Chains A and B, each alone.
Chain A
Amino acid sequence: MSERNIILKTPGLTMRFGGLTAVDNFDIEVQEGRIVGLIGPNGAGKTTCFNMITGFYNPSEGNIYFYDEDITGLPTHKVCAKGIARTFQNIRLFYNETVLQNVMIGAHLRQRSSWWQAPLNLPSFLREEKEISDKAMFLLEKVGLSDLAGEKANSLPYGEQRRLEIARALATQPKFLLLDEPAAGMNPQESWELMHFIQKTREDFDLTILLIEHDMKVVMGVCEHIWVLDYGKLIAEGPPEEIQANPKVIEAYLGEEYLENA
């Protein structure tokens, strides 16, 4: 276990909005190649952590290291270029574009040719556009959406929109993927499929995945290591079995209801 590289390290990460401390001393180390989870009750600050890591928020204190490189305060698009991609809790697709275009937009980051080559019709430009479209199709096949490539993104049902968002994120060729509640709104069958999909995606694309999730079956089933956030503070971390047994977590997060239902 200690052989693995550390892909993400966040010593002392803190985010304050005015007087409110949303995230306090968030300190995690993620090992390369793992699927890890960040859980906690609503409003615990999970998405704020994602927003700091992906450069939407500039942390008030602390640093973010990606493969030992300090990426604190980098603008979002540069963070993405470094190899960190994400999805959003409330799905954010480009709704007026087609499914294929959505994925191609993700792939645009790695495109070398620039806009002025478009009117010139240079062979190299056309070749690259074709490559990108092919790559996007390939990713759509991977997530099982290739039949819908020509449809408008907003015409897709919810579950497929989630998968499209993941395909779009994969198109940026990330090393590290952040999934914000990928199973939200899914029925048990769908979330079960999602678990396998996440695992397979990690294998196929050689990824490290950090996910926020409320569906405990998914979290416990897929994550190898879990951090628990409550009121902006980390209250526990460890492998799923330990987290499940941790009384602090049960009290703070899972609550009595969980104990009764368990």
Chain B
Amino acid sequence: MTLTMFVQHSLNALTLGSLYALIAIGYTMVYGILRLINFAHGDVFMLGAYFIFYAGALLHLPWMVGVVLAIILTSFCGVLVERAAYRPLRDAPRISALISSIGVSFFIENLAIVIFTGVPKPVVRPSWLVSIIKFHGVRILPLTIVVPLICLGLVAGLLFIVYKTKPGLAMRAISKDIETTRLMGVSVNKIISLTFGIGSALAAASGIMWALRYPQIQPLMGLIPGLKAFIAAVVGGIGSIHGAVIGGMLLGFVEIMIVAFFPALSGYKDAFAFILLIVILLLKPTGLMGEKIEEKV
């Protein structure tokens, strides 16, 4: 493998890792607050991709307007899911909300098959993002530079919200102790909605960029990336935003590099993530950045 190829693979890995990281953040935030694995998150990601498709194909909106609209709509869907399917179960056994999220996930997928049809749709990409630039012999897709940069910007924004603003403080408080936070006069429901909104917006951003990177979208496209992003969140240490980013990047590199170095294994690509999950959890059950949680007796 030459150095130029290695650089190209690294850029690809960085891009894929960014996309995973953005989805993983949604999982980790929801899990941190509600201890719920939101199985429907991957499907919210899929909705983001479809919204951008329809914004362009159906409404002929300019690119940036489409992006904003798609993110807002997806975010709204995420909040709606929480309202309808998780909030009524907040005091129920945790397993109920988990089943509900599986049901919602399946519902969104099948509804998408009915509405969008199962036929893959081609996403039209702005040409400047996909016209290859040569730089010292390295062939660079501008997209592979733009995606990590946008990811970086979004994560920085998120960290600002979580660590420097009042709603962010409330989020962190809820993740420690929801009841006490409620007693402190925080409107827990609003904060949870906000969490779902932010998580879904990031998933939408990832979905849009995913559609640019892999411009064939279909209703089940959220399933595998969703699973892998959840794994990224667990590997990084669930509940930790930094962990989600690190986990996502790690997963992106593992996938791209294994296929790059051992092309014969490319058929098994989708299995790497799960093997990585099991290995990491056996070595460090709380994930790379996770805090140790003592069992309450």
A window 1-48: CB within 8 A of B: 17, 47
Question: B297 — which chain A residues lie within 8 A by C-beta?
Answer: 47, 51, 56-57, 88
Q: Is B177 an interface residue (CB 8 A)?
A: no
* Cβ of B295 under 8 Å from chain A: yes
Min CB distance B97 to A, Å, is: 19
Does B91 sit within 8 A of A, measured CB to CB?
Answer: no
* Chain A positions 203-259 with a Cβ under 8 Å from a chain B Cβ: none
Q: Which residues in window 255-296 of B have CB below 8 A to A?
A: 294-295
A-B contact count (CB 8 A): 8
Q: How far is the CA of A17 from the CA of B295 in the complex (A)?
A: 12
- Count of residues in B whose CB is under 8 Å from the partner chain: 3
Residues of chain B contacted by A47 (CB below 8 angstroms): 297
B241 to chain A, nearest CB (A): 21
B286 CB, min distance to chain A CBs, angstroms: 14
Q: How far is the CB of B84 from chain A (nearest CB, A)?
A: 29
- List of B residues within 8 angstroms of A57 by Cβ: 294, 297
Q: With a CB–CB cut-off of 8 A, which chain B residues contact A56? A: 295, 297
Q: How far is the CA of A56 from the CA of B294 in the complex (A)?
A: 10
- Enumerate chain B residues within 8 angstroms of A88, measured Cβ to Cβ: 297
Q: How far is the CA of A88 from the CA of B297 in the complex (A)?
A: 8
Complex Cα distance, B37 from A69, in Å, reads 43
The smallest C-beta distance from B108 to any residue of chain A, in angstroms, reads 33
Shortest Cβ distance from residue A214 to the other chain B in the assembled complex, whole angstroms: 18
The chain A residue with its CB closest to the CB of B291 is A18
Complexed CA–CA distance, A57 and B295 (Å): 9
- CB proximity of B287 to chain A, nearest CB, Å: 18
CA distance A244 to B118 in the complex (A): 79
Report the bound CA distance from A47 to B294 in whole Å: 14
Q: Chain A 86-104, CB within 8 Å of chain B: the 1/0 string?
A: 0010000000000000000
Look across to chain B and name the residue whose beta carbon is closest to the beta carbon of A17: B294
Residues of A within 8 A of B294 (CB): 17, 57
Interchain CA distance A164-B139 in the complex, whole Å: 73
**Shortest distance from the beta carbon of B275 to any chain A beta carbon, whole Å:** 28
Q: How far is the CA of A57 from the CA of B294 in the complex (A)?
A: 9
Nearest-CB distance from A54 to chain B (Å)? Answer: 9
Q: Nearest chain-A residue to B295 (Cβ)?
A: A56
CB within 8 Å of A: which B160-184 residues: none
Q: Which residues of A contact B (CB under 8 A)?
A: 17, 47, 51, 56-57, 88
> 8 closest pairs, A vs B, by CB?
A56-B297, A51-B297, A17-B294, A56-B295, A47-B297, A88-B297, A57-B294, A57-B297
Chain B interfacial positions (CB closer than 8 Å to A): 294-295, 297
Q: Could you list 8 A-B pairs, sorted by A, with CB under 8 Å?
A: A17-B294, A47-B297, A51-B297, A56-B295, A56-B297, A57-B294, A57-B297, A88-B297
Beyond A56-B297, A57-B297, A88-B297, 5 additional contacts (C-beta under 8 Å) are A17-B294, A47-B297, A51-B297, A56-B295, A57-B294
